[in-house]
Structure 1
Amino acid sequence: MSAGAGTAPARNGGDLVVETLEALGATKVFGIPGQHALGLFDALSRSRLEFISSRVENNSAFAADGFSRATGQVGVVFLSTGPGALTALAGLQEAYATGVPLIVVASQLPIEGLGARRRGMLHQLDDQKASAANVTKSQRLIQHASGIPSAIQDAWTEAISSPMGPVWIEVPQNVLLNPVLVPAVEDALAEPFDNPPRSELVKEAVQWLSGARRPAIIAGGGVRRSGAGQSLLSIAEKLHAPVICTPGGNGAFPWEHPLSLQSWMEDRHMTDLLEDADVLLVIGSSLGEVTSNYFTMAPRGRIIQIDAEPRVLESNAPALGIRADARQALEALDAALPAAAAELPDWHGQTAREAVAAALDRVQARLDAQDLALERRFMADIRAAVPDAMQTYWDMTISAYWAWSCWDARSGQFHSAQGAGGLGYGFPGAIGGALGLGERVLAVSGDGSAMYSIAELATARQHDAAVTWLIVDDGGYGILREYMEDAFGKATATELARPDFVKLAESFGVPARRCSPAGIREALEESFTAEGPNVVVVEARIGLFAPTHLA
């Protein structure tokens, strides 16, 4: 029997949830209804919030993540108890790893059933909050309706404070359903906590940078998320410092700037240049696996590391660690650094701009020496088809691995699942982005990752999301195939039976077409002019560039 049967009260705990979210500025909610969450969804019917109905909870989290990245707003997810909540965790891991602000409202058993496993209630977990502890900034259980507005306001503040991320709130079924005496929420205010750098650390960093002969900069995702691009540009030009962007930082620095090393993080030529810097300024990055070229980079100079997450500081290399929001820290450094002096040939007889140009030439020469004509043309044709301002969402697929290094984001934002590395992000993330922006976006998946989110074709069609979904079908898990063939000489369990993606999309009422790699530009350009969702399938075995983390 359905819980909460009968006539719903005029206002209940669910109303307090949606009223508070509305007061804080939420416009959309992503999720799937559930038995214990009926009070939430009943309240939605009396609100101005738009509900985006996904087909799998994990994809609800991805969609809210994509919405937040595209719009800069807080994403909101409604989850049901037990299996629904657990299914969303992998999506929340991506948001947590990448620093995407989300409010996750999960229903819970009636209060009297909490912790009482012996009662054998449907969807029961021993401790649901504990399951979310690895993938959210904090977790709250609200046991009384009067506590709902303040708890959500506090959670929102935490979500938008650097380091940003998802925050988990649980509300028991009976708290959501029972009538409330609390008046309707009229206003709510959430401001991010201030996170400036310590003054003595700024002074020390300025001293190091001012005295450096060969400074270089690594710009991570924190630079982009905090909107610190202008300060980064000013500092780079004052210092004559080469700048390389991580995959998460792609777009934080102008791609064609004469100091731009672009995003070739996995190339040994770039690693060599960064190792040669006498001061390496790292902002919004842990110097983790990809950024350190798989932990092969060994800087010979001093490192200044700025990050809002204190656990990141010096986690992979000794550094002058500065815990601060990237924008606030870079603004402070920019204000304290003197104006640019004359550029000297301190990079072994070259100026910084000459060293950057030489490094980029070496990267291109290495690519020229490999059999990569198909791959390079394929990526160039996608870039040529995509309008400069269009936002793109990339799954964990070989095309995305290329894009991490070679994609010039221009004025459109580049989004990938590189934070946690889970499959299935691209399409649902793009749905959230398209619905938030009200304009077309591109999603890119492989055939393996596409199957993780194939059910969301129904969501895209139901909500008329302007998403063009490019599926690169190579018959299996292409990245794992290459890794295994390289390591063992053969691949095991990487080949996949898969559907006819064109016919499958059409069965959902979504227009689809198949093209060759040579026809990808034309196919995308035509798809971008259509209304609503559409799918482009290209059958191609795209290879990775050769390992470049080896000297």
Structure 2
Amino acid sequence: MTGMQDAAQDTVKRAAQRNGGDLVIETLTALGAKTVFGIPGQHALGLFDALSRSTLQFISSRVENNSAFAADGYSRATDEVGVLFLSTGPGALTSLAGLQEAYATGVPMVVIASQIPLDGLGARRKGMLHQLDDQKASAANVTKFQQTVHHASGIPSAIQDAWARAVTVPMGPVWVEVPQDVLLAPVMVPPVQDALAEAYDHPPRVELIREAVRWLSEAKRPVIVAGGGVRRAKAQAQLLDAARTLQAPVLCTPGGNGAFPWEHELSLQSWVEDRYVSEVLEDADVLVVIGSSLGEVSSNYFTLAPRGRLIQIDAEPRVLESNTPALGIRADAGAALDFLNAQLHREGFTARADWHGRGPQEVVAETLGKVAARLDAQDLGLERRFMADIREAVPAAMQTFWDMTISAYWGWSCWDSREGQFHSAQGAGGLGFGFPAAIGGAIGLGERVLAVSGDGSAMYSIAELATAKQHEAPVTWLIVDDGGYGILREYMEGAFGKATATELARPDFVALARSFGVPAREVQPQDVGQALRESFAAQGPNVVVVKTLLKMFAPTHF
């Protein structure tokens, strides 16, 4: 037998001999995963070798934090579980800021991280490459659950259990790490053919729903605040039913944008940072908060002071009554609204709406009129036209991904998501979310999406132009270049009369994008709508740059 024949037989034997990496891939495939994000690493070679024998699509980012954002965006856009592969040590740690956003926003993700060999765990052997004292402890602040698998045979059950935790409300990322030698170890167990991971139910307590109905039956001025939990639960229809039954105005938080029809006669839209809207919430005799922590932004920076009774419904028990005393009901927003609506209809509920001699629709119209008049009184023509032009250009069903930039801050309040979805990084508030999340969303959907960044946040993810080009992701990236960290500039100037360390030397974004083979152009603010429409009609990724200085509307919470 020739040496070449020996080598060929060895290759066949290795292919026939499955290892721990194959168990990871087989389990994920059985659970329904289609796409994986990440970057290869030394300790994860067995995992990536197994990936080569699978049908899973792998999207290799250039920075692990952007891989996390991409898996997050994929999950938000498709309503599937995002899957992320991480290498040990530096790779794992680099992902944490992206995972913080997913954790804060309740995005289901399964993270598979490699680990040093078993004999290095617990510091039994020091000096291993990428070694951490306790890698999974680093992820404890940004994931729901962490586990290290010590034997290959335990991989399927560990991943299946983690998947179930990820999709159980409150949803979020989970962390499973597998040592290098466990990934490489030959396995005797047969291929994984079936895996089932079901979410655990968290129905609301019946007596709490009945008490909520009792409060609402006495209410004359009920108001609803709808948060991101309503969107994640796909409970838009139930929310609309409840609002109609109660004749209650509805305010959507930035995370809840799209949970309620923007132009509905009961819609206060998303003007959470407005004192006139806060006054309506404060005047409610029963304020129902669904799927929101009523946190910093959604409480108008903790200035909201309800005078009536508060009902708070959330799947995350740590959120309940964390900022304001309330009747706290732990439940998924959809399940709670189903129970609430059923109870209201069963009792033949009749709304008693009376806003000091006015109807709720009149209050909503008056309030939105006051918001518009306040904006009219400020020099905001450029900003309002700019946002309106973007909204007009974006198809009604297109999903959009917004970085932490002045345009996004405007979007939190004024963006009508229509039939699409509005995604932003307001959960944790880190920079760099928009473009990589949009890449994940575009790949998952197989259709064009829009990413919006400032020049500062764009630099966090500029390397992902290579990823977008490599995979021909249909993403249009709008970069609003004001030469600095615009929102921080405004904060500092407002607080101290001057800004420090907010100005940035930035590249020629058009030339830089073109160097990656990505079409790009710079346009004037008044031409942004036409430029976007033309970019949406193109193939693959493209970039539109607008150099302009946008301002925020004046604070309305003081």
Report the TM-score range of the alignment, normalised by the length of the smaller protein: over 0.9
Q: How far apart are residue 109 of structure 1 and its match?
A: 0.5
1:154 aligns with 2:161: yes
Report the RMSD for the aligned CA atoms in angstroms: 1.0
Where 1:29 maps in the other structure, the secondary structure is: strand
**Which one of 459, 480, 505 corresponds to residue 472 of structure 1?**
480
Match of 1:383 in 2: 391
Counterpart of 2:467 in structure 1 is 459
1:341 maps to a residue whose letter is T
Please state whether the residue corresponding to 1:415 is helix, strand or coil: strand
Matched with 2:379 is 371
Deviations 1:70-114 (CA, angstroms, capped at 9, x unpaired): 000000000000000000000000000000000000000000011
Following the alignment from structure 2 to structure 1, what is the Cα–Cα distance between the partners of residues 32 and 396?
29
Output aligned runs, 1:309-458, within 5 Å. 309-338=316-345, 339=348, 341=350, 344=353, 346-458=354-466
CA distance in 2, matches of 1:536, 1:341: 52
Query: Cα gap change, 1:211/1:153 in structure 2, threshold over 3 Å: closer, same or farther?
Result: same
Work out whether 1:253 is the aligned partner of 2:260: yes
Q: Deviations over 1:432-460 (max 9, x none)?
A: 00000000000000000000000000000
CA contact (8 A) 1:117 1:124 kept: no
Q: Is the 8 A contact 1:163 1:308 kept in 2?
A: yes
Q: In the alignment, which residue of structure 2 is the partner of 1:513?
A: 521
Return the alpha-carbon distance in structure 2 between the equivalents of residues 206 and 342 of structure 1.
Answer: 12
Q: Which AA in structure 2 matches 1:250?
A: N
1:350 positional shift = 1.1
2:208 to 196, 201, 205: 201
The match for 1:165 is 172
* 2: CA distance, partners of 1:72 / 1:89: 22
Match of 1:3 in 2: none
**What per-residue deviation string (whole Å, max 9, x for no partner) do you get for residues 442-500 of structure 1?**
00000000000000000000011000000000000000000000000000000000100
In the alignment, does 2:29 pair up with 1:29?
Answer: no
8 Å CA contact retained: 1:106, 1:170: yes
Shift of 1:349: 1.8
Residue 117 of structure 1 contacts residue 125 of structure 1 at CA under 8 Å; is this kept in 2? no
For residue 250 of structure 1, report the CA deviation from its aligned partner.
0.2
Distance 1:117-1:523 versus aligned 2 partners, 3 A rule: farther
Task: Give yes or no for contact 1:391–1:414 (8 Å, CA) kept in 2.
Answer: yes
User: Does structure 1 residue 293 correspond to structure 2 residue 304?
Assistant: no
Q: Is 2:221 the counterpart of 1:214?
A: yes
Shift of 1:210: 1.4
Q: Do structure 1's residue 501 and structure 2's residue 509 form an aligned pair?
A: yes
Structure 1 Cα separation of the partners of residues 523 and 512 of structure 2: 16
Equivalent in 55, 63, 77 of residue 48 of structure 1: 55
Tell me, what secondary structure is at the counterpart of 2:98?
helix
Q: Which amino acid aligns with 1:533?
A: P
CA–CA distance in 2 between the matches of 1:317 and 1:496?
40
Take 1:503 and 1:151, find their aligned partners in 2: how far apart are those partners?
47
Q: Deviation per CA, 1:262-289: give whole Å up to 9, x if none.
A: 0000000000010000000000111110
Instruction: Choose which of 113, 116, 131 in structure 1 pairs with 2:120.
Output: 113
Name 1:186's counterpart in structure 2.
Answer: 193
CA shift for structure 1 position 341: 3.3
Correspondence for 2:129: 122
Q: Aligned residue for 1:103?
A: 110
Opposite residue 436 of structure 1, the aligned amino acid is G
**Separation of aligned partners in 2, 1:525 and 1:542:** 22
SS in 2 for 1:393: strand
Amino acid at match of 1:164: M
Give CA deviations for 1:215-255 in whole Å, capped at 9, x if unaligned: 00000000000111111100100111000000000000000
How far apart are the structure 1 equivalents of 2:230 and 2:556? 26
Give the count of matched residue pairs: 544
Aligned partner of residue 115 in structure 1, secondary structure: helix
Any conservation in 1 of the 2:245–2:351 contact (CA below 8 Å)? no
Q: Distance in 1 between matches of 2:448 and 2:271?
A: 28
Paired with 1:71 and 1:499, the residues of 2 have a C-alpha distance of 33
Asked if residue 83 in structure 1 is aligned to residue 93 in structure 2, the reply is: no
Q: Give distance in 1, aligned partners of 2:189 and 2:113.
A: 21
Q: Deviations over 1:8-62 (max 9, x none)?
A: 5531100000000000000000000000000110000000000000000000000
Tell me the equivalent position of 2:70: 63
TM-superposed CA distance for 1:328, in Å, is 0.2
Alpha-carbon distance between aligned partners in 2 of 1:193 and 1:494, rounded to the nearest angstrom: 46
Q: What is the CA–CA distance in structure 1 between the aligned matches of 2:86 and 2:117, rounded to whole Å?
A: 15
Q: CA deviation at 1:299?
A: 0.1
Contact 1:237 1:340 in 2 (8 A): no
Once residues 139 and 299 of structure 1 are traced to their aligned partners in structure 2, the CA distance between those partners, rounded to angstroms, is 38
Instruction: Tell me the residue number matched to 2:6.
Output: none
Output the CA distance in 2 between the equivalents of 1:342 and 1:537.
50
Question: Which 10-residue stretch deviates more, 118-127 or 512-521?
Answer: 118-127
CA contact (8 A) 1:343 1:351 kept: no
Secondary structure of the corresponding residue to residue 52 of structure 1: strand
Residues 226 and 327 in structure 1, CA contact (< 8 A), matched pair in contact too = yes
Counterpart in 1 of 2:143? 136
Amino acid in structure 1 at the alignment position of 2:390: I
- String of CA shifts for 1:515-547, please: whole Å, max 9, x gaps: 000000000000000000000000000100000
Distance apart, 1:119 and its partner CA: 2.2
Give 2:137's aligned amino acid: A
Contact 1:62/1:429 (8 A) holds in 2: yes
TM (norm. structure 2) is: 0.97
Contact conserved, 2:246 with 2:351, CA < 8 A, in 1? no
What 5-or-longer segments of structure 1 have no aligned partner? Answer: 1-5
Structure 2 letter corresponding to 1:424? G
| Contact 1:280/1:304 (8 A) holds in 2 | yes
What TM-score, normalized by structure 1, do the two folds share? 0.98
Which amino acid letter does the alignment assign opposite residue 88 of structure 1?
S
Tell me how far apart the structure 1 counterparts of residues 465 and 231 of structure 2 sit (CA, whole Å).
Answer: 30
Gaps of at least 5 residues in structure 2 are: 1-9
Pair 1:355–1:39, CA change in 2 (3 A): same
Asked whether the 8 Å contact 1:137–1:166 carries over to 2, the reply is: yes
Partner of 2:5: none
Amino acid at match of 2:409: Y
Distance 2:309 2:365 in 1: 24
